[in-house]
Amino acid sequence: MKEQEKFIGWHIMWWLVGLGCIPVTFPWILYHLFDIMKQKRRKAKLAGKVVMITGASSGLGEAMAHIFYSSGCRLILASRRKEELERVKSVLMNKHPTVPTHPPIVLPLDITDLNSIPPEIEKVLKIYGKIDVLINNAGISYRGEVINTNVDVDIKLMLCNYFGQIAVSKAVLPSMIEQQSGHLVYISSVQGKIALPHRSAYSASKHALQAWCDSARAELADHNIDITVVSPGYINTALSLNALTGSGQNYGVMDKATAQGLPPEYVAEEVLKALLRKTSELTVSTFTPKVAIYLRTVFPSLYFWIMRKRANKEIKDKQS
């Protein structure tokens, strides 16, 4: 009898809790259903849009190529590695038949060669006449101590992650301003918002990119040009393998955090959603980096203390 009364009591309690949640849950469900329908309509409008992706030969860039190609976009795949771009193009055309079919354009491009960028962009504009969406994804990472890092390494990081990105953007922007529409997407990093020990050159380059985007967003708004900055946490790609050390050599190690990072396919989906919603900023990460961003803003002293502890631990781990 007591067990039955207990069961009835729990049942009534959960019923009351559920009843109390209806005023919140029902509007929440309606909002998300409406958002899904709105995204579907916007995604349908992507068909035929010209989308250029830098760093498209692997990792997140390749994942985004799949997302946008399957949406019917006309892709421009840019990277230094032409052979890998051809591979991505072949996989896309075999895996995602689109109607009508738009074979991706392969554009070998080294964004650190700043003077070569305008003529290469001009080649694409002669083919399509426009670029509707530019996704600046190319970049390199870094692992090293401030005191042992050659200035040349700092320059390389800034050249690729900052100067190269804005050089591509400035080559594309005149055509967007002329057509009075366009969308610039920048794949930054959580480290563009908070700096970590042994990532100084990388964090600095991403901070610079973030600041440029904030200024450009305001200046370009009247030309109907949107800017979206996506700040991912760790992604399971080869970024750490290809990272530079303080001496300029390849790091060549798959970090544990990188290996356990978010799947690039998931991040690519989030980039698409941000673009469709015209989101100005999006942080795609687990809970911890978001807490760190909050602490850096609200309790900077606590954040600095935590980072000091982290730096000491990394040095001890390296020595042991």
Every domain of the chain and the residues it spans: 36-285, 287-320
Instruction: Quick: pLDDT tens for 205-231.
Output: 999 999 999 999 999 999 999 999 999
**Tokens standing for 28?**
């929440």
Residue 21: phi and psi, rounded to 5, are -80, -15
pLDDT at residue 35, as a whole number: 58
pLDDT at 12 over 80: no
Q: Which CATH architecture is the domain 36-285 placed in?
A: 3-Layer(aba) Sandwich (3.40)
Residue 319: pLDDT band (50, 70, 90) is: confident
Say what the pTM is.
0.86
Range of weakest confidence among 71-75, 85-89, 237-241: 237-241
Region 260-268: what's the mean pLDDT? Answer: 93
Helix axes 287-298, 300-319, angle to 10 degrees: 130
The residues near 210 (Cβ < 8 Å, ≥ 6 apart) are: 188, 192, 193, 229, 231
Residue 21: pLDDT band (50, 70, 90) is: low
Rounded mean pLDDT of the chain? Answer: 89
Residue 202 known to be catalytic? yes
pLDDT at 270 over 60: yes
Region 80-91: what's the mean pLDDT? Answer: 95
Name which of 31, 66, 35 is nearest 267 in CA terms.
Answer: 66
Region 183-203: what's the mean pLDDT? Answer: 95
Neighbour count for residue 287 (Cβ, 10 Å): 8
8 A C-beta contact, residue 83 and residue 111: no
Instruction: Quick: pLDDT tens for 22-71.
Output: 665 556 455 555 556 655 666 677 888 999 999 999 999 999 999 999 99
pLDDT at residue 36, as a whole number: 60
The catalytic residue among 142, 162, 186, 202 is: 202
Range of weakest confidence among 157-161, 168-172, 284-288: 284-288
Q: What angle do CA 35, 39, 40 make, to 5 degrees?
A: 120
For residues 245 and 156, what is the distance between their CA atoms, to the nearest angstrom? 11
